[in-house]
């Protein structure tokens, strides 16, 4: 048989040759490094016979991105093997690779509780399997035989999986004493696992069904080298230290309570931060001709039927009723804005109409998916809707994009742009889509914005531009969006009178920059590790008298700073100034003003910056000007990857 390699060269191999044979044919180095083989885009075992179908064949080594998934899947099997060594009678369920690692779900025998405290012993047992260099051996057997085997081993989850698959044959993978029902592929042997670590446990219902057994999920990760693993663990540690839920509590920004799941209770400091971001959005919107509106929270089901939400989105809505009328709480602002438009009459001269509304939205997210501020039930979006003529679309899209870019610039984020085009399930004619996609494409290219195209990933009602940013921990977040929509104006029968005196349909553009303020604040807390730039910091400056007798002067300084518009407070406690400074540093307040005898006499203060220390003594007027200038410029610095936390 002839095999084509990725570089286009061909190799002659005996019929029935395997990926391992191919690697050996290329050279002994590749034979040692080989982990699997890729036929087309399909990763297969090295021991599997190669197909003779002309597909290009590539040998997968640790250098290939696919190899990490393979390695993590191998490690999941080794974990299950170790668990059965240590806890005989454990029932195993499934153990897939996931992004950044793997997990395996177990039902431990009665009375056995496994937690992170057991990880060292489990990891030691795993290392024994790795050291033993157990080959992963695949067998294809009849489902009946596999079923009998797992029944005999008292593995009911595997039996259920086999029954549900309903296949004639299934594949089993064995390493050492352990056999798993598994589709594969796997590396040749356990010794290829160079570095792994167990990370955490969690409860997980069998098949995600809350009526079934709660299993214990063990999460772990694996890498090709100890260095890669160490770097990953360091990133995880940084993320843990910066976890917005932890910092949010420590910095007194917000609390969560089970009386209202997924809805933050914003404390005064968090509310200041929140309002400052709303203020930024408001200011940038006003500069670009957006006007703010207020629309209701609760609407008759008829509105949601018109918008399509009652049919498609009702599961995620909170619904109620009033005087026998079914009502729904808004999960997004768009239908309210479209309805508000429909309550007025517009001529072409009135367009574009640009409505912004930082309104409260509620979505009934399953409680299991809620995650701090990143996934909530109650939130406010910085979204806006533009109603315009077809001719105005390019300029309006450019305007919306401009606000996205201006917003990210404030935080030093460099957005990556994605254009998503027509999906298979869509409404509207091809001509409409050609025009809409063309308008978005032109808006990007005319500004020289490089972008990726995501074919088929648009919304069913129109194409969209998504904006992603990367934070200081290297994590990517989708924040902004600009979406062109011909459907909502149709559904709400929106009109305007054209220059020809005839009725026309406006286009609708949905846009958001930060996404929801909740999620954006969650991202910012972790991005800045709680060390907010001055303009955002809830407490901007604390005045620290060196002794009680300077409290009156300190209070006077605070009054003057507040009068100038700065968020200032006095630390009037009878503590040493050293202690006051340390505690203010822990609260990550950007500036401190230390005042004593000399400062009180000369109307001055000694200025300290968080993390930097003493900046010298200045008059109160100079300090005020300096801080106001920093606030006005919304100065931001890219946070260090490794701050002293």
Residue ranges binding Zn ion (CB under 5 A): 182, 334, 510
Looking at the Cβ atoms of 400 and 521, the one nearer to Zn ion is: 400
Is 510 considered catalytic here?
yes
Least spacing, CB of residue 333 vs Zn ion, in Å: 6
Looking at the Cβ atoms of 360 and 497, the one nearer to Zn ion is: 360
Least spacing, CB of residue 488 vs Zn ion, in Å: 8
Is 334 considered catalytic here?
yes
Looking at the Cβ atoms of 95 and 530, the one nearer to Zn ion is: 95
Is 363 considered catalytic here?
yes
User: In Å, how far are 225, 358, 369, 443, 638 from 334, measured between CA atoms?
Assistant: 50, 12, 24, 23, 34
Burial grade of 166 (CB within 10 A; 0-12, 13-18, 19 or more): exposed
Q: How many CA atoms within 13 Å lie on the side-chain side of 586?
A: 8
Q: How many CA atoms within 13 Å lie on the side-chain side of 477?
A: 25
Is 300 considered catalytic here?
no
Other C-beta atoms within 10 Å of 462: how many?
Answer: 26
Looking at the Cβ atoms of 170 and 543, the one nearer to Zn ion is: 170
State how far the Cα of 523 lies from the Cα of 478, in Å rounded to an integer.
11
Q: Which residues contact residue 409 at a Cβ distance below 8 angstroms, ignoring those fewer than 6 apart? A: none
Looking at the Cβ atoms of 102 and 411, the one nearer to Zn ion is: 102
Is 388 considered catalytic here?
no
Looking at the Cβ atoms of 334 and 484, the one nearer to Zn ion is: 334
- Selected catalytic residue, list 72, 242, 385, 422: 385
Least spacing, CB of residue 153 vs Zn ion, in Å: 16
State how far the Cα of 123 lies from the Cα of 567, in Å rounded to an integer.
51
Backbone angles phi, psi at 163, to 5 degrees: -60, -40
Least spacing, CB of residue 331 vs Zn ion, in Å: 11
Beta strands in 400-506 (DSSP E): 416-420, 451-454, 464-470, 476-485, 496-497, 503-504
Looking at the Cβ atoms of 174 and 470, the one nearer to Zn ion is: 174
Least spacing, CB of residue 37 vs Zn ion, in Å: 18
Is 140 considered catalytic here?
no
- Selected catalytic residue, list 138, 464, 527, 588: 464
Q: Which single residue is written with the structure tokens 């912004």?
A: 356
Helices and strands counted in the chain (H then E): 20, 34
State how far the Cα of 639 lies from the Cα of 645, in Å rounded to an integer.
12
CB 397 within 8 A of CB 533: no
Looking at the Cβ atoms of 44 and 510, the one nearer to Zn ion is: 510
Least spacing, CB of residue 604 vs Zn ion, in Å: 52
Q: Which pairing describes strands 325-329 and 265-266: parallel, antiparallel, or unpaired?
A: unpaired
Q: Residue 396: helix, strand or coil by DSSP?
A: helix
- Selected catalytic residue, list 155, 238, 381, 540: 381
Least spacing, CB of residue 182 vs Zn ion, in Å: 3
State how far the Cα of 585 lies from the Cα of 609, in Å rounded to an integer.
9
Looking at the Cβ atoms of 104 and 477, the one nearer to Zn ion is: 104
Least spacing, CB of residue 45 vs Zn ion, in Å: 12
State how far the Cα of 498 lies from the Cα of 618, in Å rounded to an integer.
63
State how far the Cα of 216 lies from the Cα of 203, in Å rounded to an integer.
5
Q: Which of 155, 144, 90, 156 is nearest to 118 (CA)?
A: 90
Least spacing, CB of residue 77 vs Zn ion, in Å: 6
Backbone angles phi, psi at 39, to 5 degrees: -110, 115
Other C-beta atoms within 10 Å of 184: how many?
Answer: 17
Backbone angles phi, psi at 611, to 5 degrees: 80, -10
Is 381 considered catalytic here?
yes
- Selected catalytic residue, list 354, 510, 608, 610: 510
- Selected catalytic residue, list 383, 466, 485, 571: 383
Annotated catalytic residues are: 334, 363, 381, 383, 385, 464, 510
């Amino acid at each position: 048989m002839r095999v084509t390699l990725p570089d286009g060269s061909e190799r002659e191999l005996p019929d029935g040759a395997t990926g391992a044979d191919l690697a050996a044919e290329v050279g002994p180095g590749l034979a040692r490094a080989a982990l699997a083989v890729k036929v087309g885009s399909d990763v297969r075992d090295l021991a599997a016979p190669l197909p003779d179908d002309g597909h290009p064949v590539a040998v997968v080594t640790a250098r290939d991105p696919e190899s990490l998934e393979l390695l993590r899947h191998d490690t999941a099997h080794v974990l299950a093997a170790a668990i059965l060594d240590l806890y005989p009678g454990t029932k195993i369920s499934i153990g897939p690779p996931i992004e950044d690692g793997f997990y395996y779900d177990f039902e431990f025998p009665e009375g056995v509780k496994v937690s992170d405290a057991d990880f060292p012993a489990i990891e030691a047992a795993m290392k024994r399997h790795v050291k033993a260099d157990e080959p992963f051996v695949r067998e294809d057997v009849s489902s009946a035989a596999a079923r009998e085997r797992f029944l005999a081993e008292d593995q009911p989850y595997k039996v259920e999986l086999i029954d549900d698959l309903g296949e004639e044959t299934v594949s089993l993978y064995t390493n050492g004493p352990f056999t798993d029902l598994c589709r594969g592929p796997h590396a040749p042997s356990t010794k290829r696992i160079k570095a792994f670590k167990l990370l955490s446990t969690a409860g997980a219902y069998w098949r995600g069904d809350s009526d079934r057994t709660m299993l214990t999920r063990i999460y772990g990760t694996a890498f090709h080298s100890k260095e890669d693993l160490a770097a990953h663990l360091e990133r995880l540690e940084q993320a843990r230290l910066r976890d917005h839920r932890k910092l949010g509590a420590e910095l007194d920004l917000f609390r969560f309570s089970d009386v209202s799941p997924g809805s933050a209770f914003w404390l005064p400091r968090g509310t200041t931060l929140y309002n400052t971001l709303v203020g930024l959005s408001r200011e940038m919107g006003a500069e670009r001709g957006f006007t703010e509106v207020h629309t209701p929270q609760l609407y008759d089901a008829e509105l949601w039927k018109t918008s399509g939400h009652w049919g498609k989105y009702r599961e995620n809505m909170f619904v109620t009723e009033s005087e026998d009328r079914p009502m729904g709480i808004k999960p997004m602002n768009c239908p309210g804005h479209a309805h508000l438009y429909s309550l007025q009459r517009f001529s072409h001269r009135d367009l574009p109409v640009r409505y912004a509304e930082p309104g409260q939205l509620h979505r009934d997210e399953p409680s299991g998916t809620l995650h701090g501020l990143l996934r909530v039930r109650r939130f406010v979006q910085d979204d806006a809707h533009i109603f315009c003529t077809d001719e105005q679309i390019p300029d309006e899209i450019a305007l919306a994009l401009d606000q996205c870019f201006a917003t990210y610039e404030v935080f030093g984020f460099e957005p990556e742009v994605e254009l998503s085009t027509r999906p298979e399930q869509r409404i509207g004619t091809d001509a409409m889509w050609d025009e809409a996609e063309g308008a978005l494409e032109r808006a990007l290219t005319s500004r020289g914005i490089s972008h990726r195209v995501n074919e088929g990933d648009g919304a069913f009602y129109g194409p969209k531009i998504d904006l992603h940013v990367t934070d200081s921990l290297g994590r990517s977040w989708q924040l902004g969006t600009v979406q062109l929509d011909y459907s909502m104006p149709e559904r709400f029968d929106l009109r305007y009178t054209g220059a020809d005196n005839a009725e026309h349909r406006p286009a609708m553009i949905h846009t958001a920059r930060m996404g929801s303020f909740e999620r954006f604040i969650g991202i910012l807390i972790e991005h800045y590790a709680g060390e907010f730039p001055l303009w955002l910091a809830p407490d901007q400056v604390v005045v620290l008298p060196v002794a009680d007798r300077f409290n009156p002067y300190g209070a006077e300084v605070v009054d003057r700073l507040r009068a100038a518009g700065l968020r200032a407070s006095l630390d009037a406690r009878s503590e040493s100034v050293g202690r006051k400074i340390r505690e203010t540093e822990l609260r990550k307040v950007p500036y401190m003003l230390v005042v004593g005898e000399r400062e009180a006499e000369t109307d001055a203060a000694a200025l300290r910056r968080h993390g930097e220390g003493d900046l010298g003594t200045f008059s109160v007027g100079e300090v005020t000007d300096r801080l106001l200038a920093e606030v006005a410029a919304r100065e931001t610095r890219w946070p260090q990857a490794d701050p002293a936390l």
